[in-house]
Amino acid sequence: MIPLLVLGAIILVAAGVPGLWVRRVMGRYRTPGDRYRMTGAELARDLLRRLELPHVEVEQTTQGDHYDPLRRRIGLSRENYEGRSLTAVTVAAHEVGHAVQDAIGYRPLHWRTRMVRWATAGQRVGAGLLLGLPLILAVSRSPALLLPAAALGVAGLATGVLVHLVTLPTEFDASFRRAMPLLEAGYLHPEDRPHARRILQAAALTYVAAAAMSLLNVWLWLRLLRP
């Protein structure tokens, strides 16, 4: 019992600390709000023009900052789309980094895109199986069916953890091999370079928090299903 509780506490901390740090870093460099002459959206479009990627569009979104390789679009939150802060321009450059990966055929990005499709389906099926365990028992009247159904359900949820972990190398590549050199090519104030690196690191580590949250969800279900 105690080792399981300790494990749960470790997972809970691992899920919360990276997320808090990411929000702190992003928030810290949102001021001053007029640090740069270009907004995040303007910088992204300027980079795409220079990189000869005119087919990639930039739009404001409520779904978080991301690059959609299927639609060839960069989505920026309102504060990063309209903002002129260091956070806004750095996050915009990070998403342009993903567009560059897509354009050059960076395989880990394409692997992640394919994995997200089946992982999303797997998580939905897994959640459905776990939530439907009482119904499965009522209909089948066979407790023996509960164990394989529960195992499949937990495995479905666990696909989310795998996707987030596979995503990490792609995020660090977009941050430090793509975005940082672009920003250093005349876009950043020299004194902002170390701060931009922190923001890019935070952008990549967002998926560490997401992976930890997925792992916590799996652990909670395992605890709930434990005899």
Question: Tens digit of pLDDT for each residue in 128-176?
Answer: 766 766 766 566 666 666 667 666 766 666 676 777 677 788 889 999 9
Sheet of strand 66-68, all strands in order from the earlier edge strand to the far edge: 57-60, 73-76, 66-68
pLDDT tens figures, 177-191: 999 999 999 999 999
Between the CA of residue 105 and those of 95, 100, 187, what are the distances in Å? Answer: 16, 9, 26
**Annotated catalytic residue within 59, 95, 171, 184:** 95
- pLDDT band with cut points at 50, 70 and 90 for residue 2: very low
Is the per-residue pLDDT at 99 higher than 70? Answer: yes
Instruction: Using the structure block, give the residue that is written with the tokens 């023996």.
Output: 144
Percent of the chain with pLDDT over 90: 46
Does the annotation count 95 as an active-site position?
A: yes
pLDDT tens-digit profile of 6-35?
555 555 555 555 667 778 899 999 999 999
pLDDT value of residue 32: 93
CB-side exposure of 74: number of CA atoms within 13 Å? 30
Torsion over CA: 85, 34, 73, 120 (sign): positive
Strand, coil or helix: what is 171? Answer: helix
pTM of the model: 0.75
Q: What's the CA dihedral at 122, 209, 203, 66 to 10 degrees?
A: 30
